[in-house]
Structure 1
Amino acid sequence: MRRRTGWAIAGAMALGWGEWLNRRWSRTLVREGQGGSEAVVVLGYRNPQATANFVNRWRVRAGLRSVATGNRRDTFVIFSGGSTSGGESEARLMADYAKSALGFDGTVVLEEQSRSTWENVTNVIPLLESVDRVKIASQPAHALKARAYLRRQRPDLAERLVPAEDYRPGEWLFAKPLLALYGLWTLRRLAGEPGLSTTGRARSLLSARRAARCNRAA
């Protein structure tokens, strides 16, 4: 019974940690702001099949719910991602899903050349020049990585970044601890980036928990 209780507590802590870290990432390197024109950038995920896969479908939904209520006329959605398999681009597959499955009838722009997150950012920059606000939608760690890249490439445009709706409490609940671990790994090279101290604190917390488990096991 004591062992079961310990596992239950550890599981609850892992779920809470995953929620906390993904929420922090979704709110890092953004400012609060309302009104004006906006662009929602939806980042693609490798997609060898002929239709949008599970990850890209979720990213499309996160991007479309990021369109500000009542501001649809002044918003356009950029689907960004090239082809990694010789078929249709990630951007086109996401746009097709948004229109055919979700009934989105707003303004859509395709960026179909990118093959990495850095290229995603580089290639959408010309499309962001004329808007007041920029939202980047993906899994929180991936979106944060893209925001950091935008700040490196165009600090002036990075000042226009506002939160997207790519984090919701309880969504992907049981996957969030794994997404948090993967996010820490993908963000490791950005640990020294100004404004990303939350990532460093998360790593320290993770290391402390590992050390505590090892001490108990000993």
Structure 2
Amino acid sequence: MRRRTGLAIAGAAALAWGEWVNWRWSRALVSSSGGSSTAVVVLGYRNPQSTANLINRWRVRAGIRSITSDGAQKTCVIFSGGATSSGVTEARLMADYAKSVLAFNGTVLLEDQSTTTWENIMHVIPLLEDVDRIKIASQPAHALKARAYLRRQRPDLAERLVRADDYRPGEWMAVKPLLALYGLWTLRGVKAGERKVSLWTAL
């Protein structure tokens, strides 16, 4: 009985920790920047098949719902990701899913040259010059890594970063502890100061 209780407590603690870590990451390196135009950058994930995989489908949904979370009058979605083993780019697979399955009919731009997160940011920068707000949609750790890269490459544009709707309490809850552990590994090159929760989005 005690063992079961201990396992239950440990499991609950792991779930709570996964939620907390992902919540913090989703609110780091963002501000409360305002404006009438927003670009939502959806980062691709390696996709060997000819249709969007589970991870890319979720990222597309997170990107699309990030549009409706504010009152921007002009919004574009930028799908970013290079060629896959199927010959179709991640950007194209995500855009096709957004249009054919989610019936998204908004403005879509494709960045189809990048193969790393650093390149994702490098190649989308020209598409971000004229927007007031920038949202990066992915798993929270990956999105934070991308925001840190934008801060390093173009600190002036990084000032326009606002939070995407890529974290929701309870979503992917069972695997969030694993995502948190993987996130800690992927964020090992991101400085501690770049992981701090922004005051504007702490609540």
TM range (shorter): over 0.9
Amino acid at match of 2:193: P
Number of aligned residue pairs: 197
- Aligned CA RMSD, in angstroms, stands at 1.4
Amino acid at match of 1:18: G
Deviation at 1:170, TM superposition (A): 0.2
TM-score (norm 2): 0.93
Deviation at 1:189, TM superposition (A): 1.3
Amino acid at match of 1:177: P
CA contact (8 A) 1:40 1:78 kept: yes
Amino acid at match of 1:164: A
For structure 2, list consecutive stretches of 5 or more residues without a partner in the other structure. 198-203
Deviation at 1:36, TM superposition (A): 1.3
Deviation at 1:96, TM superposition (A): 0.2
Identity %, equivalent residues? 72
Cα gap change, 1:178/1:96 in structure 2, threshold over 3 Å: closer, same or farther? same
In structure 2, the residue matched to 1:6 is 6
Deviation at 1:86, TM superposition (A): 4.9
CA contact (8 A) 1:84 1:115 kept: no
Matched, 1:170 2:170: yes
In structure 1, the residue matched to 2:105 is 105
In structure 2, the residue matched to 1:95 is 95
Deviation at 1:197, TM superposition (A): 4.6
Deviation at 1:71, TM superposition (A): 4.4
Aligned pairs (5 A) from 1:99-178: 99-178=99-178
For structure 1, list consecutive stretches of 5 or more residues without a partner in the other structure. 199-218
Amino acid at match of 1:178: L
CA–CA separation in structure 2 for the residues paired with 1:187 and 1:73: 34
Worse-superposed segment, 67-76 or 157-166: 67-76
CA–CA separation in structure 1 for the residues paired with 2:73 and 2:97: 20
CA–CA separation in structure 1 for the residues paired with 2:161 and 2:23: 16
Aligned pairs (5 A) from 1:1-218: 1-68=1-68, 71=71, 73-190=73-190, 192-197=191-196
Between 1 and 2, higher relative CO (CA 8 Å, sep ≥ 6) is seen in: 2
Deviation at 1:194, TM superposition (A): 2.7
Structure whose alpha-carbon radius of gyration is higher: 1
Structure 1 residue ranges (4+ consecutive) displaced by more than 3 angstroms after TM superposition: 68-73
> Could you report, residue by residue, the CA deviation over 1:140-195 in whole angstroms, capped at 9, with x for unpaired residues?
000000000000000000000000000000000000000000000000111x3533
Deviation at 1:85, TM superposition (A): 1.2
Deviation at 1:87, TM superposition (A): 1.0
TM-score (norm 1): 0.87
CA contact (8 A) 1:73 1:106 kept: no
SS in 2 for 1:109: strand
Deviation at 1:69, TM superposition (A): 5.2
